[in-house]
Amino acid sequence: MVRAFVSRYFFRLLGVFLLNVLYVLLTVFTFVMIEPFVKLLFRGTLEGLSPVSAFVMDKIAVLVPLDNLSRSMVVIIVCAVLLFFLRNLAAYGSQWVMAHVRSDFLYRLRNRLYDKMISLPLGYFTKQSRGDAVTRAVNDTQEVEYTVLTSIQKFLTDPVALICYLAFLFYIDYQLSLWAVLLMPVAFLIIGFLAHLLKRSSKTYRERLGVLLAHVEETLAGLRVIYGFNAQERAYRKFARLNQEFHQNQKKVYRQSYLANPLSEFLGVSSVMVVLVIGGTLVLSERSGLTAELFITYIALFTQIITPVSNISSAFADFRRGEAAMDRIREFLAIEDNVEDSADALPVEGFTRDIHFHDVSFSYSDANVLTHVDLTVPKGKTVALVGPSGAGKSTLADLLMRFYDVSGGEILLDGVPVSRYRVADYRRLFALVSQDVMLFHDTIYNNITLGCPATMAEVEEAAKAANIYDFVMSLPDGFHHVVGDRGVALSGGQRQRVSIARAVLRKAPVLVLDEATSAMDTESEMLVRQSVEALSKQHTVVMIAHRLSTVQHADCICVLDGGCVVEQGTHEELMARKGAYYQLVISS
């Protein structure tokens, strides 16, 4: 990820780097002005300056004559202010460029994560919660911004600053500077250890946050059940426990990361003390060339290296912390869909004859959920899947739409294995009406079109086919009525019919219908049934039936039990056979 980042923004990062070099050089020159100023103030002359200061003052004297003391002092101060202004301009310039780099990187990352989210394999949520996916997309991205990007920015500034300042300090007095350099590795080692601790605890921190958000998400989705079962107390207790675990871990992470700054500052100040003692001794002994004025410049510049040293070490700590978030994002982006196009995948030309399950077996993990299933869905016919809960009906429908690939056997579309076709093309053959109807907090019109271009006449026609038209027209805003979050403003039957209209509008040849298990009022149920019966005249329908009363008109009823097809035939044939279907009917 870091390599991709550097190569994408190479020229901008180079610009940031160059502006930072400029910033550091201007800082050094600002500090150079201290020596002439102090000399002027305490010794009343500009004679005997160190070579760098003498050089700078000579250049200034060419532009502005330095013929008296107070004029010289004003000129020195004005030059220092000017240099300071230019230095800050360079700093702002580099941040200005960096602002684009940071936000553009995050913008792209968020897009990639969302793109991944809408193509996640369905099986992903068998093991992971939705909250976890949201944490990765929102919080981990934010964490990368705070830590990784900030540390990259620091890496582009502070090493340059450190090298330039050190070079200048060595130039002023190498003996003294050797001491300063000796103290640095100690600081790096201590901070490095802290960084290691931080990475470990922040990984736990991110995981716990994911669990906490998952619980919040689940609570909001199941609010109705929580009220119905008076389970507020239980939900709250669980939240409080998760929150407590999160809080303990968060405290640890905060404390560890807050330690980085005071620790490095303390190490910095201690080294200033060492420098003061040694430098002071050198000045007092008058044996070396270090004058008091130069020593003051030295100290001023030396305090400047504390910031880059502490920044570099805290950047390491931040980077480690951010790595935990980056690892989680990388993991997420690397999830592969198990249903993928083969290299020579074909476009789907159409559906003319049948879809055939040939000796199909399937397992989610170890045990087979479907075993040796043989089933034909002829074009234009209605096939109903019945059987006890857990028999494998939904799994069979998921395989039909290729949400998963089969583990054994094959599914053939007009005699061609579906794995030979492009997934997106193949799925276009189907329109799904699922049991847990998902409506968005939007108008009925938008919920029916779901973004696919359609005229009002087409939407009305679909609504009529789904038996929802009259109800929609009775609403004050008609098709522009907003259905509330997840469609709470509609009854179960109305939601199901809106989703049937949605499926009809798609004009897909095959309708896959997962009948709602929750009880609907008789009128709603009758309206749904009527619309399904009407639709089955023009479409191929595969219906997962939870109520046997709805399947009597099906062309083929397929009875599943324990993942096997135990019987197939029409209602009359199966009743006459007095087998599994007959048993189901008389016991219902």
Greatest CA separation for the chain: 122
Q: Using the minimum distance from each CB to ligand ADP, give the nearer residue, 122 or 178.
A: 122
Site for ligand ADP in 154-213 (CB under 6 A): none
- The strand ranges marked E within 228-367 are 354-363
Q: Report in angstroms how near the CB of residue 512 gets to ligand ADP at its nearest.
A: 12
Number of residues that bind ligand ADP (CB under 6 A): 12
- Pick the binder of ligand ADP from 394, 435, 446, 568 (CB under 6 A): 394
Q: By CB under 6 A, is residue 455 in contact with ligand ADP?
A: no
Region of 241-249, 385-393, 486-494, 517-525 interacting with ligand ADP (CB under 6 A)? 385-393
Euclidean distance between CA atoms 115 and 109, whole angstroms: 10
Query: Toward ligand ADP, which CB reaches closer, 390 or 484?
Result: 390
What value, to the nearest 5°, has the Cα angle with vertex 516 and ends 561 and 122?
70
Residue of 205, 213, 211 whose CA lies nearest to 146: 205
Contact call for residue 314 and ligand ADP (CB under 6 A): no
Q: For residues 328 and 393, which CB has a smaller minimum distance to ligand ADP in the complex?
A: 393
Tell which one of 392, 409, 487, 493 touches ligand ADP (CB under 6 A). 392
Query: 84 or 124: whose CB is closer to ligand ADP?
Result: 124
Q: E strands, 317-434, where?
A: 354-363, 368-378, 382-386, 408-413, 416-417, 430-433
- Tokens 């040694």 belong to which residue? 278
> Which residues have a Cβ under 8 Å from the Cβ of 539 and sit 6 or more positions away?
380, 509, 510, 511
Among 393, 481, 495, 497, binds ligand ADP (CB under 6 A): 393
> What is the Cα–Cα distance from 203 to 326, expressed in whole angstroms?
10
Taking the C-alpha atoms of 527, 529, 535 and 536 in order, what is their torsion angle to the nearest 10 degrees? -170
Q: How far is the CB of 394 from ligand ADP (least distance, A)?
A: 3
Residue pair 188/159 in contact (Cβ under 8 Å)? The answer is no
Q: Is residue 307 close enough to count as binding ligand ADP by CB under 6 A? A: no
Quick check: helix, strand or coil at residue 64?
Answer: coil
In the complex with ligand ADP, the residue whose CB is nearer, 387 or 487, is 387
Note whether 7 binds ligand ADP by CB under 6 A. Answer: no
Give min distance, CB of 368 to ligand ADP, in A: 9
Task: List the Cα angle 150/151/153 in 5-degree steps.
Answer: 65
Q: How many helices and strands (H and E) does the chain possess? A: 22, 10
Do 156 and 373 meet the contact criterion of CB atoms below 8 Å apart?
no
For ligand ADP, the binding residues in 78-137 under the rule CB under 6 A are 123, 126
Token duo for residue 406: 């089969």
Which residues are paired to 377 by β-bridges? 355
First to last CA, the chain: 58
Residue 227 binds ligand ADP (CB under 6 A):
no
Choose the binding region for ligand ADP from 382-390, 428-436, 532-540, 570-578 (rule: CB under 6 A).
Answer: 382-390
Query: Using the rule CB under 6 A, which residue among 48, 185, 262, 390 binds ligand ADP?
Result: 390
Tokens, residue 82: 């000017």
CB-based contact 253:287 (threshold 8 Å): no
Give the pair of three-digit tokens for residue 249: 């871990």
* 369 touches ligand ADP (CB under 6 A): yes
Map tokens 């048993």 to a residue. Answer: 583
Shortest CB 125 distance to ligand ADP, Å: 8
Q: How many CB atoms lie within 10 A of CB 485?
A: 13
Residue 391 lies near ligand ADP (rule: CB under 6 A): yes
Task: Supply the minimum distance, in Å, between the C-beta of residue 573 and ligand ADP.
Answer: 22
Binding mask 347-366 for ligand ADP (x = CB under 6 A): -----------------x--
- Nearer Cβ to ligand ADP, position 393 or 502? 393
When asked if residue 303 is in the footprint of ligand ADP (CB under 6 A), the reply is no
| Interface of this chain with ligand ADP, residues 43 to 72, rule: CB under 6 A | none
Cα→Cα distances 97→26, 155, 438, Å: 19, 15, 43
Least separation in angstroms between residue 123's CB and ligand ADP is: 6
Least separation, in Å, of the C-beta of 436 and ligand ADP? Answer: 12
Output the smallest distance, CB 158 to ligand ADP, in A: 50
Q: How far is the CB of 488 from ligand ADP (least distance, A)?
A: 25
Q: Which stretch binds ligand ADP (CB under 6 A): 140-148, 276-284, 314-322, 390-398?
A: 390-398
Cβ count near 473 (within 10 Å):
11
As measured in angstroms, the least distance from the Cβ of 445 to ligand ADP is 32
Note the residues at the interface with ligand ADP (CB under 6 A): 123, 126, 364, 369, 387, 389-395
